C-alpha cells in the first residue's frame, strides 16, 4: 500500500450528514451554509444509505417538472447510491473511483467517517509534488557546484574514485558513475575527505552542511516512498535548505572561462512563429556556439526570443533549468544546441550557459539506444545514456561489452570491449575470437580492427568510420544508420562465439 485514504481525511471532523427524513430545503440550506456540493444520507442507525447532491436535486426537479414541491420532499427521494471506500484503501483506488463521480464516502463499519473529492486528491499530489520539486531544486544546485569544482572528465573521475573506490569489474573506472548518483551519494562525493577541500569555501561549516543535507535526504525518502505527506515543518526545512544553498558563494570560473553577458538584439527575434516553443532559443544558441564558451543571459531576453513569458516555475525553481534531455522540452532545446545550464541565478533572473560537446554525445547515444531497441527488442535493458564519449551494454557474458565510442582522435567506432578484470584471460579471449576473424568478417561484411592492447589490461575488436559530433544533420543520419546496422551485425557475429569461449 502506497498511501492509505485514512491519511487524506486525518485530522478532519466527521462529515456532516442528513437523515433520510430531512427535507430537501433543509439539506440545501446546510450545503449552501457550508459550501458543500453533496451530503451523505444516513438511516436511523447512522449507517450510510445514500448521498444527496446538487446534481441529484437538479435531476429530480427536471423529472417531476414542477408538479410536486421539490423543497418539501424528504432527501430519500433525491438520494443516489453512494460510492464508498474504506480508510485502509489506497489513494490510487480513490483516484480510479473519482473518474466517474465528484465525491466518494469513506466508510468504516457502514458509517461515514469522511468524504474524499477530486479536490482532496489534487491537493495531496500538489503537496507531494511541491516537496519533490524543492528536493530537486536542492539536488540541481548541488550538481551545479560539483560540476563547477570537477569541471573536466579527469577531475570528476578522480573525485568519484576517492569517494566510491574503483569498480570491481574495471579498476580503471569508479564504482559509481556521476550520472547514476543518488541524493545521498552526491553528499558523499562532496564530504569525502580528499574532496571536501574543494568545497570548503562554499559549504562550510561541514557539520552544518551535513545536518541540512541529511534532513533533506530523510524528507526526500519519505516523499518518494509515500510515507506520509509533507508537514509545515518539513516544507520549511526544504525551503530553508534550498535558500541556504542558493546563498552560498560561487566559485570563480577558471582563467579564460569567465562569463560574458549577452543581450538579444531586435534583429535576432524571429518574425515568424516557429515549430516548438523553445526552438528560437535553440537556434539563437547554435549561432553562438563558437563565439564564447560561457554566456549569461537574462530571463527577459529569453522571453523576447520566445515571444512569450517563461512559466512561473522558471523563476521559482532551479529544477526548471535542469539539464534533463528526457522530460524537459526547454532543456532539450539548449542541449541540442550544444550548451548546458551552468547556473540559474533566480534572484537576478539570469542563466549561465556553458558550451560543451558532451551533451551532444549523450543525445547522440540516446537516439542510437532508442533505435537499437526498436530494431531488436530485448537486445538490452539499458534505458539511459550519459554525457560521455562512449556507451556500451553487456554482450552476454561478464567482461564482454558491445558499444559505440567517439574517440578523441575522431570518428565513430563500433566495438567489442573485453575486460574480465584479468589481463591474461582478456588476451586469451581476444586471441580466440580474432582467430575466427575471417568468418566474423564475412558475417559483419567489413574488415575488423584487432586491438590486443598488450600494454593495457583490456582488448578491443572494432570498426571505425569518419564522423564528428558537429556534422550536419544528413551526415549525422548516415552515421546513425551505420552505427545501428553495424551493431546488430556485431551482436550476431560475436554473442554466440562469446558464449562458446
In tens, the pLDDT along 314-349 reads 999 988 998 887 778 899 999 989 899 988 999 999
Q: Which phi and psi angles does 261 have, rounded to 5°?
A: -70, 130
Q: Residues 160-178: what's their mean pLDDT?
A: 84
Q: Is 59 found in the same domain as 20?
A: yes
Residue identified by cell 580528499 is 194
The CATH number for 423's domain is: 3.30.1460
| pTM exceeding 0.85 | no
d(CA 215, CA 241): 9
Preceding omega of 224 cis (within 30 degrees of 0): no
User: Distance from CA of residue 234 to its chain's centroid?
Assistant: 22
> What does the block give as the cell for 441?
568478417
- Among 356, 375, 401, the domain boundary falls at 356
CB 7 within 8 A of CB 58: no
In tens, the pLDDT along 117-152 reads 888 888 777 777 888 889 999 998 999 899 888 877
d(CA 80, CA 63): 15
Domain containing 419 equals 360-500
The answer to whether residue 216 scores a pLDDT higher than 90 is: yes
Q: Residues 190-216: what's their mean pLDDT?
A: 94
Contacts of 467 (CB under 8 A, 6+ apart): 406, 410, 411, 412, 475, 479
pLDDT at 1: 44
CB 459 within 8 A of CB 426: yes
Q: Quote the mean pLDDT of the chain.
A: 90
CB 338 within 8 A of CB 289: yes
Q: Is 238 found in the same domain as 280?
A: no
Q: Is 495 found in the same domain as 365?
A: yes
Q: How far is CA 459 from CA 169, 256, 322, 395, 448, in A?
A: 14, 38, 37, 14, 13
CB 87 within 8 A of CB 5: yes
pLDDT at 257: 61
CB 136 within 8 A of CB 322: yes
| The CA-based dihedral angle spanning residues 150, 155, 161, 163, taken in that order and rounded to the nearest 10 degrees | -20
Is residue 255 assigned to a domain? no
The answer to whether residue 229 scores a pLDDT higher than 70 is: no
Q: Is 364 found in the same domain as 423?
A: yes
Kindly report the CA angle at 370 between 483 and 322, in degrees rounded to 5?
Answer: 115
Q: Is 59 found in the same domain as 151?
A: no
Q: Is 350 found in the same domain as 445?
A: no
CB 101 within 8 A of CB 53: no
Q: Is 472 found in the same domain as 401?
A: yes
> What does the block give as the cell for 344?
540559474
E strands, 399-465, are 400-405, 412-418, 449-451, 459-465
User: What is the count of structural domains for the chain?
Assistant: 4
Q: Is 281 found in the same domain as 168?
A: no
pLDDT at 378: 93
In tens, the pLDDT along 62-98 reads 998 878 899 999 999 999 999 999 998 888 888 889 9
d(CA 130, CA 298): 26
| The CA-based dihedral angle spanning residues 373, 374, 377, 381, taken in that order and rounded to the nearest 10 degrees | 30
Amino acid at each position: 500500500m502506497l498511501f492509505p485514504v485514512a491519511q487524506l481525511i486525518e485530522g478532519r471532523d466527521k462529515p456532516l450528514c442528513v437523515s433520510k427524513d430531512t427535507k430537501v430545503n433543509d439539506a440545501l440550506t446546510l450545503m449552501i451554509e457550508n459550501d458543500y456540493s453533496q451530503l451523505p444520507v444516513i438511516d436511523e442507525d447512522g449507517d450510510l444509505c445514500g448521498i444527496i447532491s446538487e446534481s441529484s436535486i437538479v435531476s429530480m426537479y427536471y423529472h417531476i417538472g414542477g408538479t410536486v414541491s421539490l423543497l418539501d420532499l424528504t432527501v430519500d427521494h433525491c438520494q443516489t447510491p453512494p460510492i464508498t471506500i474504506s480508510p485502509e484503501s489506497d489513494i490510487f483506488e480513490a483516484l480510479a473511483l473519482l473518474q466517474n463521480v465528484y465525491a466518494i464516502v469513506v466508510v468504516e463499519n457502514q458509517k461515514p467517517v469522511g468524504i474524499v473529492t477530486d479536490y482532496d486528491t489534487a491537493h495531496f499530489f500538489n503537496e507531494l509534488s511541491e516537496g519533490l520539486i524543492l528536493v530537486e531544486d536542492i539536488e540541481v544546485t548541488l550538481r551545479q557546484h560539483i560540476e563547477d569544482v570537477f569541471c573536466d572528465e579527469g577531475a570528476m573521475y578522480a573525485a568519484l574514485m576517492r569517494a566510491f573506490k574503483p569498480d570491481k569489474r574495471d579498476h580503471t573506472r569508479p564504482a559509481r558513475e556521476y550520472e547514476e548518483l543518488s541524493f545521498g551519494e552526491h553528499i558523499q562525493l562532496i564530504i569525502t575527505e580528499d574532496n571536501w577541500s574543494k568545497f570548503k569555501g562554499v559549504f562550510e561549516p561541514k557539520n552544518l552542511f551535513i545536518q541540512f543535507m541529511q534532513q533533506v535526504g530523510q524528507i526526500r525518502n519519505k516523499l518518494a516512498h509515500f510515507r506520509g505527506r509533507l508537514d509545515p515543518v518539513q516544507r520549511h526545512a526544504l525551503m530553508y535548505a534550498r535558500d541556504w544553498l542558493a546563498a552560498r558563494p560561487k566559485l570563480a570560473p577558471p582563467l579564460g572561462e569567465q562569463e560574458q553577458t549577452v543581450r538579444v538584439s531586435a534583429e535576432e527575434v524571429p518574425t515568424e512563429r516557429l515549430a516548438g516553443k523553445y526552438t528560437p532559443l535553440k537556434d539563437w544558441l547554435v549561432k553562438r556556439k563558437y563565439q564564447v564558451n560561457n554566456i549569461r543571459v537574462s530571463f527577459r531576453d529569453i522571453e523576447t526570443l520566445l515571444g512569450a513569458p517563461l512559466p512561473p516555475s522558471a523563476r521559482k525553481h532551479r529544477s526548471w533549468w535542469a539539464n534533463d534531455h528526457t522530460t524537459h522540452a526547454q532543456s532539450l532545446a539548449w542541449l541540442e544546441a550544444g550548451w548546458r545550464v551552468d547556473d540559474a541565478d533566480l534572484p537576478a533572473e539570469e542563466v549561465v550557459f556553458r558550451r560543451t560537446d558532451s551533451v551532444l554525445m549523450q543525445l547522440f547515444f540516446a537516439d542510437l539506444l532508442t533505435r537499437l531497441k526498436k530494431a531488436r527488442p530485448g537486445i538490452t535493458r539499458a534505458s539511459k545514456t550519459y554525457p560521455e564519449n562512449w556507451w556500451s551494454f553487456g554482450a552476454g557474458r561478464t567482461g564482454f561489452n558491445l558499444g559505440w565510442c567517439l574517440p578523441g582522435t575522431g570518428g565513430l567506432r563500433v566495438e567489442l570491449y573485453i575486460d574480465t578484470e584479468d589481463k591474461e584471460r582478456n588476451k586469451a579471449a581476444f586471441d580466440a575470437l580474432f582467430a575466427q576473424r575471417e568468418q566474423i568478417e564475412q558475417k559483419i561484411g567489413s574488415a575488423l580492427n584487432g586491438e590486443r592492447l598488450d600494454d593495457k589490461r583490456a582488448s578491443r575488436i572494432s570498426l571505425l568510420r569518419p564522423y564528428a559530433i558537429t556534422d550536419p544533420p544528413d551526415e549525422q543520419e548516415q552515421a546513425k544508420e551505420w552505427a545501428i546496422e553495424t551493431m546488430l551485425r556485431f551482436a550476431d557475429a560475436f554473442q554466440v562465439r562469446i558464449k562458446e569461449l
